[in-house]
Amino acid sequence: MKLKPWTITLADTENLHPHEQSIPQAVARIAEDIAQKERFIDPVIVDAETGLVVDGTHRVEAAIRLGLGKIPVYTVDYMSPRVVLAGWGRAASKNISKDELRGLFGRLGFTESMASYDARFIWSDGHVIQVKHSGELSTKQVYEKLSIIDQSLQHLGIAYVRDSDVEELVKQGKHVFGYLLRPLKKEEVVSIVKQGYRLPPKSTRHLIDRRPMYINCPLEILRSSDAVEKFTEFLSEGVWVELGPGAELDRRYDEKVMVFYREDLAAFYPEKLLKLVKSSLKQTLR
């Protein structure tokens, strides 16, 4: 699959390759939302050259479940600095003893490390433990073992936060315990997908410069025989509104966001977003 980068278009779902495993409940919820609204809300972020799904695994699988052969995508050059690969930190509301944690990661083959790490555990008392796997494992294998740690610690009330926020949240006492996974490289993500594998959920977080959102494309367009032409016409009848970094939509976005707006679709926008969009449009017209 090779498409022109930095373009909003339609792509065949069979040519899209998610890099993370999906959560079945999330796929079901999104599929139900799409079917109920009869709209595909946000375009999936896709690498133009490889078809790697940068962001939107659950939307792709929801579309397949609904029998959608084509879906809206925003194509990017994954290796471009306009696409930033970050991660998710884990912050816990309940504590775990150092000895209990040592027993857990020890059984999985991890040992404590003073230098590089596969996982870094932080307590509100200032204690830090870094661990690295003792074997010669691939990135995929290491992350599979880290996923077992994730699953084993869910009873602590794990919240997923920006990786850059974990240490400060724990230091301030807002969470008693937290941890970080080793940052991935883009080349590792691409390699895993090319091998036909997927990373565990919440392995990556991507920032996409000028991320397009809320196109609200009707499903009837996606199911039509001339879907590409109708989709192009649909987009031509709206405007793009830029929201700066820090916009709080369905979550906080650290990058610039481009919201597609059409007056006839106002009912499909969350009330808070609608106010932001209309305020921005008024300032533009001044």
Amino acid identity of residue 246, one-letter, is: G
Burial (0-12, 13-18, 19+ Cβ within 10 Å), 86? middle
Task: Give the pLDDT mean for 173-188.
Answer: 98
Positive or negative torsion for Cα 195, 201, 204, 210:
positive
Q: Minimum mean pLDDT among 56-65, 93-102, 247-256: which range?
A: 247-256
Segments making up each domain of the chain, as ranges: 7-85+207-285, 88-182
What is the model's pTM?
Answer: 0.94
Nearest to 34 by CA among 220, 207, 201: 220
Q: Which helix (H) or strand (E) holds 274?
A: helix 271-285
CATH architecture of structural domain 7-85+207-285: Alpha-Beta Complex (3.90)
DSSP 263: G
pLDDT single digits (tens) 121-162: 999 999 999 999 999 999 999 999 999 999 999 999 999 999
286 band by pLDDT with thresholds 50, 70 and 90: very low
